[in-house]
Structure 1
Amino acid sequence: MTETALPEPTPEQAALFARVRRMMLIASLTTAVAVAAVLVAVGYRLFRSEGSAGRAAAATEITATLPKNARIVSTAVAGDRLVVTLDVGGSTEIRTFDAQTLRPAGTLKFAREP
C-alpha cells in the first residue's frame, strides 16, 4: 500500500493551527475551572448541611421566665427566628429567639400613649 504524503503546512496554516490550539487550551482551562467551582460548591453545601443536621438532632431544653401576669398570645417562626407574642398586663411585647440555639435575640415592647 502506498501512504499518502501530507504536505508541510504553509506559514499561514501553521499560524492558524497555533491559534486554534491556544483557543482550545483556553476553553479547556475555563471548563476545568467551572467544573471545579461546581464541585467545591456542592461539597461545601454537603459539609454545611451535615453540620446543621447534627446540631438539630441534639435536644435542647430551656426554660424562659415570663413577667408576672403575662400570657403567651401567639408563637411563630420567621426565617431562623422564633417569635413569641406576649400580653403583659394589657400591653403587648414581642420576644424573638434564635431558632437553632433558643437564645434571646431581641425584645420589642409596645406601650400606649398617656
Structure 2
Amino acid sequence: MTETALPEPTPEQAALFARVRRMMLIAGLTTALAVAAVLIAIGYRLFRSEGSAVATDTTAVLPKGARIVATAVAGDRLVVTLDIGGTTEIRTFDARTLRATGRLRFANEP
C-alpha cells in the first residue's frame, strides 16, 4: 500500500487550526456550563419544592341553617361564602392545611 504524504501546513494554516481548536474549546466549555446550569436549576426546584400536598380529611361545622353560597381560591387561601339566616359571612382557610384563617361577617344596619 502506498501512503500519501501530507505536506506540512503553512504558518497561516497552522494559525487557522489553532484558532479553530480554541473556538471549539470555548464552545465546548460554554455548552458544559449551560448544561450544568440547567441541571442545577432542576435540582434546586426538586429539593426546594414543598413536595406533594398532604391529603387532609377535615370536617367544617357550619351553624344551623347556614348554606354555602360560593367558594373560591385566592392565592393560597380557600374562600367560602356562607348565608347564615339572612346575613352573609366569608370564611377563609389555608389551602394546604385547611385550617381556618379568618372570618368576615356582613350585617345590615338597623
How large is the Cα RMSD of the aligned pairs?
Answer: 3.5
Measured at CA, do residues 113 and 15 of structure 1 come closer, stay the same or move farther in structure 2, by a change above 3 Å? farther
After superposition, where does 1:82-93 map in structure 2 within 5 Å? 82-93=78-89
Structure 1 residue 90: deviation in Å? 3.2
Query: TM-score normalised to the size of structure 1?
Result: 0.61
The residue that corresponds to 1:52 in the other structure is 51
Structure 1 residue 108: deviation in Å? 5.0
2: CA distance, partners of 1:23 / 1:113 = 79
What number of residue pairs does the alignment pair up? 110
Measured at CA, do residues 109 and 21 of structure 1 come closer, stay the same or move farther in structure 2, by a change above 3 Å? farther
Asked if 1:4 corresponds to 2:4, the answer is yes
After superposition, where does 1:1-114 map in structure 2 within 5 Å? 1-47=1-47, 52-53=51-52, 55-57=53-55, 59-61=56-58, 64=60, 70-78=66-74, 80-107=76-103, 110=106
1: CA distance, partners of 2:77 / 2:101 = 8
Query: TM-score normalised to the size of structure 2?
Result: 0.63
Identity among equivalent positions (%) equals 79
1: CA distance, partners of 2:97 / 2:35 = 36
Unaligned regions of 5+ residues in structure 2, if any? none
| Counterpart secondary structure, 2:54 | helix
Q: Which has the higher helix share?
A: 1
Structure 1 residue 65: deviation in Å? 6.1
| Counterpart secondary structure, 2:83 | strand
Structure 1 residue 107: deviation in Å? 4.7
Unaligned regions of 5+ residues in structure 1, if any? none
